[in-house]
Chain A
Amino acid sequence: MPSYGTALFVGGTRFIGRHTVEAFLEAGYDITTVTRGEHTDPFAGRAGVTNRTGDRTVRNQLEAARDAVEPDVVVDFVGLHPGEVREATDVFADARYVYVSSGSAYVPGDVPMREDETELHPCEPEQEDDDDAETYGPRKAECDRAVFAAAEAGVEAMAVRPMLVQGPHDYTERFGYWVNRVAEHDEVLVPGDGGSLLHRVYVEDLARALLLVAEEGKPGEAYNAADRSAYSLDRSLELIADALDTAVTPVHASERELAAHDVEPSAFPLYTPEPRLVSTGKLAALGWESTPPVEYIAETARAHVDAGVTGPDESLDRDTEESVITALRAEDGE
């Protein structure tokens, strides 16, 4: 295995970056994180990790960080606009550069989505600099193309496309919504027939994927990062219940039954109306393995309960959920 000593992380000390720091520390790296300083640095005082304040959208601040750190490896957690990735691959042209992209870069539809077969979103020039959720996929796709272009110009640049990331410290609270429901209630409302399939990835496995691609990835290539084994929404609930040593009864509701209470299926975190699965063979071929869901869900569920996570603000409130469940139960004659 090649060994590199110095890593620079652009952004990310909250969730993915936080776990990735641990993975790189364990592998013996000296790490510098470059952040705007808006969140508390969880590594303050830790040997081997230095934080620099800097704004990745200002080129000379990236250059200053590069000149101070002289990184062998750069991991870019916060490249949200193609211009930023073009800039970063130029500034860090002498390092191995890993861009954290997203499964959202794909035009959805293929099951499974494959790195070198499934189409990526096109991105219009006017979409490149905006911040709308609707253009997130197109922008991530264009960032990947910026990585490929840099690789053609000789930069050792790679992209990693994670699916829905889960684990402790997940500030999005999407998985936390379900943990909270299962922890607090016997019956939980689930859209559809419970078979909704959204591919997840455990944050620590993603961290190891980033390390592996940094060291062994092929320039110009993209790698999907998702659990080797996916599972349905209902199965998520069972796994959470097992972890918390409790039981749960999912109450399935069709789109019409939800609509009768003005509830959209999209009010449920992690629900997808069509399966979203990726092929993971390319990353596995580099030697990557993933933690069995039963193990990491146990750890994650307990961490979310301890942290008092309740779910995203925009998700379904429990009062509405209970009124739907009561109405459906009346129909069931229970």
Chain B
Amino acid sequence: MADTALVIGGTRFIGRHVVEDLLDNGYEVTIFNRGNHENPFSDVEGVDHVEGDRRNDTDLKAAALSVTPDVVIDCVAYYPEDVRVATDVFADADGYVYISSGAAYGVEEIPKREGETELCCCTDEQATDDSHESYGPRKAEGDRAIVAAAEDGVNAMSVRPCIVYGPHDYTERLDYWIDRVLNHDRVVVPGDGQNLWHRAYAEDVASALRIVAEEGEPGEAYNVGDRRLVTMEEMVDLIAEAADTDVEVVHAGERELAAAGLAADDFILYREYPHVLDTNKLAALGWESTPLAEAMERTVSEHRESDRDGGEHDPGREAEERVLGVLDTL
């Protein structure tokens, strides 16, 4: 009999890749969510849907009873309490994996390493609020709930992704850059181009979650990110290669940006201090990441079919043109 997997949340982005990865690896999959988004697997054999709210304990218990999953992948635990409840409800699973975040790390070290780099603290107030500022603390507290559950004998693990990109990415962060490269010959990249913000290809995050569910050590957290990082400039070049087009990257320093009323962090995926995750612990479980060119090709090709343009992250092409115009004259 095939193993059964329950995917909590997620028919939109990461969860969608998780379902596909599980199917490819012979699992029978049940998706559990509120049904607020269209279910891309409604006609796919081997994928059931149970409707319910993961923040409603009764719903979650009902799902556990009807599915009795071997493996649980929790894509939407945003509060520590969610993790405490889920590790209790799924205490008998062979593997419960919580999607935490690289944001759980509380100090800027390069690289950030499981078990070494300090995590964010989380106050009681932060544990229940839903602000962007408390995201890291809440994710960190969720990780601590995993450790506690494992101490009680639950096969619970955490996975900490950095910035996830790939097909169906509704955050549209990379879409902004793809759109720029597809539509313009010259593109402003803030700083000297070497800005580093570790990214993780969505399909690799999906395989990481399955591998950790199968092979991970209870109570442990595993970073996930591309085995090879690229700088912001290399990312733009990779997009251009994948799109089979050319682009001129124009570096702009803080004064050159300020002349057009811009700052470096107006550009999405620019981060003031480098964010790098150590990925050796996950790799030691046998996980590998997709070659960057291939990952980018799939990402760009799906972008072309979508209607996403990253417009919400746009610092304004007019301002960008002003920067480009000034830099032309130098």
Interface positions of A (Cβ within 8 A of B): 110-112, 191-193, 195-197, 228-232, 235, 252-257, 265, 272-275, 277, 279, 281, 328, 331-332
Q: Looking at the complex, which one of A193, A255, A256, A279 makes contact with B190 (CB distance below 8 Å)? A: A193
In the complex, are the beta carbons of A196 and B192 less than 8 A apart? yes
In the complex, are the beta carbons of A197 and B196 less than 8 A apart? yes
Chain A residues lying within 8 Å of B280, measured Cβ to Cβ, are 279, 281
Given A111-B229, A277-B276, answer yes or no on A254-B255 (Cβ-Cβ < 8 Å): yes
Label chain B's interface by main secondary structure.
Answer: loop
Is B253 on the interface with A (CB-CB < 8 A)? yes
Q: Looking at the complex, which one of A197, A235, A255 makes contact with B251 (CB distance below 8 Å)? A: A255
Chain A residues lying within 8 Å of B109, measured Cβ to Cβ, are 229
In the complex, are the beta carbons of A274 and B264 less than 8 A apart? no
Q: Looking at the complex, which one of A111, A254, A279 makes contact with B192 (CB distance below 8 Å)? A: A254
In the complex, are the beta carbons of A281 and B278 less than 8 A apart? yes
Starting from the known contacts A195-B273, A265-B192, 20 additional A-B residue pairs (CB-CB under 8 Å) come to A111-B196, A111-B228, A111-B229, A112-B229, A193-B190, A195-B274, A197-B274, A229-B109, A230-B110, A235-B273, A252-B253, A252-B254, A254-B252, A254-B256, A256-B256, A257-B256, A274-B231, A281-B278, A328-B255, A332-B255
Which residue of chain A has its CB nearest to the CB of B112?
A229
Most chain A beta-carbon neighbours within 10 Å: one of B231, B252, B253, B327: B253
In the complex, are the beta carbons of B230 and A254 less than 8 A apart? no
Chain B residues lying within 8 Å of A272, measured Cβ to Cβ, are 194
CA distance A254 to B259 in the complex (A): 14
Chain A residues lying within 8 Å of B110, measured Cβ to Cβ, are 197, 229-232, 277
Chain A residues lying within 8 Å of B111, measured Cβ to Cβ, are 112, 229-230, 277
Leading 8 A-B pairs by shortest Cβ distance: A254-B253, A192-B192, A193-B191, A281-B280, A230-B110, A111-B229, A229-B109, A256-B330
Given A110-B228, A111-B196, A256-B327, answer yes or no on A195-B251 (Cβ-Cβ < 8 Å): no
Is B195 on the interface with A (CB-CB < 8 A)? yes
Contact mask for chain B residues 182-198; partner A; CB cutoff 8 A; 1 contact, 0 none? 00000000111111100
- Interface size band for B: 20 to 34
CA distance A257 to B273 in the complex (A): 22
Chain A residues lying within 8 Å of B192, measured Cβ to Cβ, are 191-193, 195-196, 254-255, 265, 273
Chain B residues lying within 8 Å of A197, measured Cβ to Cβ, are 110, 194, 196, 274
Which residue of chain A has its CB nearest to the CB of B117?
A229
* Chain B: minimal CB distance from A111 (Å): 4
* Chain A: minimal CB distance from B235 (Å): 12
Give me 11 A-to-B residue pairs in the complex whose CB atoms sit less than 8 angstroms apart, sorted by A's number.
A112-B276, A193-B195, A195-B195, A228-B113, A229-B110, A229-B111, A230-B110, A254-B192, A274-B231, A275-B229, A281-B280
Contact mask for chain B residues 152-193; partner A; CB cutoff 8 A; 1 contact, 0 none? 000000000000000000000000000000000000001111
CA distance A159 to B192 in the complex (A): 34
Chain A residues lying within 8 Å of B251, measured Cβ to Cβ, are 254-255
Which residue of chain B has its CB nearest to the CB of A276?
B194
Contact mask for chain B residues 209-240; partner A; CB cutoff 8 A; 1 contact, 0 none? 00000000000000000001111000000000
CA distance A265 to B193 in the complex (A): 13
CA distance A307 to B156 in the complex (A): 54
Chain A residues lying within 8 Å of B274, measured Cβ to Cβ, are 195, 197, 232, 275
Contact mask for chain B residues 294-330; partner A; CB cutoff 8 A; 1 contact, 0 none? 0000000000000000000000000000000001001
CA distance A328 to B255 in the complex (A): 9
Chain B residues lying within 8 Å of A232, measured Cβ to Cβ, are 110, 273-274
* Chain A: minimal CB distance from B181 (Å): 20
Given A254-B192, A277-B276, A281-B278, answer yes or no on A193-B230 (Cβ-Cβ < 8 Å): no
Chain B residues lying within 8 Å of A230, measured Cβ to Cβ, are 110-111
CA distance A228 to B231 in the complex (A): 21
Which residue of chain A has its CB nearest to the CB of B109?
A229
Chain B residues lying within 8 Å of A273, measured Cβ to Cβ, are 192-194
Chain B residues lying within 8 Å of A110, measured Cβ to Cβ, are 228
* Chain B: minimal CB distance from A333 (Å): 10
Most chain B beta-carbon neighbours within 10 Å: one of A111, A192, A256, A277: A111
Chain A residues lying within 8 Å of B252, measured Cβ to Cβ, are 254
CA distance A28 to B137 in the complex (A): 47
Chain B residues lying within 8 Å of A231, measured Cβ to Cβ, are 110
* Chain B: minimal CB distance from A224 (Å): 12
CA distance A229 to B191 in the complex (A): 23
